[in-house]
Structure 1
Amino acid sequence: MVHSMTAFARQEHAADWGSLQLELRSVNQRYLEPHFRLPESLRDLEPTFREALRSRLARGKVECTLRFEAAGAAEGLAVNPARLAELASALSEVRQAVNDAAPPDALALLAYPGVLESSGPDPEAVKAAALTLFEAALDDLMTGRAREGEKLAALIRERLTAIDGQVAEVRQLMPQILERQRAQLLERLESVRAELDPQRLEAELALLAQKADVDEELDRLVTHVAEVERQLTQKGPVGRRLDFLMQELNREANTLSSKSVVASTTRCAVELKVLIEQMREQIQNIE
């Protein structure tokens, strides 16, 4: 199944301790290129997020934005009574041992490690919620990429059908093209009234017909079209293979154009190039 590299997903979570909002946005890129904007308190989740993206995506520039808003009651500070009692007991022992020891002020006591604590939410609970939120957003992103991929595949198949039509038209015109080419050459030779060697003339006509014969190019166009169709049904990333096939299709269209001897085949070659370029533009968004 074809997956686009372009998609967007958003998930939110609210709890007593606050709320989380997570956004995933992906666009086309040659390789997988993740970027993260995370709160400092949740920065250590980045390796886990990065590994999850690598396990499910192969290509694309992915921007992950996580926002955390703590509930109003969870933003204050609180004194740890047990820690403060331990500190007071230690200070009492110091004063007993050192009579002239100056007692610390309140700010100094609060600055002591462990005395003043944030009354914010449990960090582990927030991290667990963020991980769940990320997994849900990644599922949504994958669904969006698959949905967009189906649309791209449909557009490409329309162009493949049009290419088959152009190939069939050229095949139908080939007998007329070769006969017209032969007639034009004979008219030019007759106009100069040159003495012609019949065997040499036939050899030249055969060589010219061989140069103008595009059956091989048409066969390769059909083969490449079939391979593109096959790739559209494969599992996993196919964007790079499809891009290579567009180069091959374009090469055959150029050869067809260079061998053209009448306006009809030139027009078909131009139409083929237009169709191939339209497909190539769509394929740039395929993973």
Structure 2
Amino acid sequence: MTGFGKACMQLPHKKITVEVKSLNSKNLDLNVRLPLTYREKELPLRNVIAQELERGKVDFSLYCEITAEETSNKINGPIVVAYINQMKEIIPQADETELMKMAVRMPDALKVERLELDESEWLEIEKVIAEAIKNINEFRRSEGSTLEKDFRLRVANIRFYMDEITKLDAERILTVKERLRNNLDELQVTVDENRFEQEVIYYLEKLDINEEKVRLAQHLDYFIETLEGKEANGRKLGFIAQEMGREINTMGSKSNHADMQKYVVKMKDELEKIKEQVLNVL
């Protein structure tokens, strides 16, 4: 969602500069800054920005720099003359230049004429707005391409660590059986072998992680499938990442094996990096 776009245009009497900046946000949080002359166009402009940018904390600014000799501030002649006459009555010998300097600082000495919106001028400004929005979208697409490569790398790493856990699973079962057998031998008691096997199977079922591995593999596939979709899918990717985290946590609690737990930690580390970057996806 992060991005920046800027575009400029020179009109006959003014220079128009448009800047659009966006940061991460769950929804669209739009802040629009417009000169007073163009304020009536704010609502349709907000609709255009919302359709184009969809999500993010967006700051839109339109700056207008007057380049001609015209100005909207005019000296209110009658008011200034009235001030000068009043001051002359108080100080007859006062210099008129000094009185003028004082008069123009008095209230209402300057009047601001509100410029009416020129629709033909606004049509030109809409072009520079569209260019700025296009630039920020290009920035976002560039960032998105980088994020996609990073996501694919993290998902591939999680798959690799899951495969390594699978290789250790058979060894873990043998280790658990041996540990139980050694504990019984230390007790020096006679046990029924059939009952012992039943208890071992029951115990191992509680430690079985096949279901978690299958579900995690499905979540990884769905993550990539969603990543390749054309619609805005940032929220969906976040939900999938949460489900991946549940399966990894369950595998860690069931692993009961030091080397397997090391791979679980590595998987969690990769997943946290995914969650951080998912916040920046539309």
Bin for the TM-score computed over the shorter chain: 0.7 to 0.9
1: distance between equivalents of 2:263 and 2:73? 76
User: Per chain length, whose mean CA-contact separation is higher, i.e. which structure has more relative contact order (CA < 8 Å, sep 6+)?
Assistant: 1
Partner of 1:192: 187
1:58 Cα offset (Å): 2.2
1:200 Cα offset (Å): 1.5
TM-score (norm 2): 0.83
Find 2:32's aligned residue among 20, 32, 36.
Answer: 36
- 1:260–1:237 Cα change, 3 Å: same
**Could you tell me which amino acid in structure 1 is paired with residue 177 of structure 2?**
R
1:144-223 alignment runs, 5 A limit: 144-223=139-218
Cα RMSD of the aligned pairs, angstroms, is: 2.0
Partner of 1:270: 265
- 1:75–1:119 Cα change, 3 Å: farther
2: distance between equivalents of 1:64 and 1:16? 24
1: distance between equivalents of 2:129 and 2:2? 18
Partner of 1:47: 43
Q: Runs in 1 of length 4+ with deviation above 3 angstroms?
A: 116-122
Partner of 1:57: 53
Structure 2, unmatched stretches of 5+, are 75-110
TM-score (norm 1): 0.81
- 1:215–1:119 Cα change, 3 Å: closer
**Could you tell me which amino acid in structure 1 is paired with residue 68 of structure 2?**
G
Are the counterparts in 1 of residues 19 and 62 from structure 2 also a CA contact under 8 Å? Answer: yes
2: distance between equivalents of 1:212 and 1:282? 32
Partner of 1:69: 65
1: distance between equivalents of 2:188 and 2:248? 38
Identity rate of aligned residues, in percent?
27
SS at match of 2:4: strand
Are the counterparts in 1 of residues 23 and 57 from structure 2 also a CA contact under 8 Å? Answer: yes
1:77 Cα offset (Å): 7.7
Partner of 1:134: 129
2: distance between equivalents of 1:122 and 1:243? 45
1: distance between equivalents of 2:54 and 2:114? 42
1:215 Cα offset (Å): 1.1
Partner of 1:286: 281
2: distance between equivalents of 1:206 and 1:7? 56
SS at match of 2:31: strand
Q: How many residues align?
A: 246
1:129 Cα offset (Å): 2.3
Structure 1, unmatched stretches of 5+, are 79-115
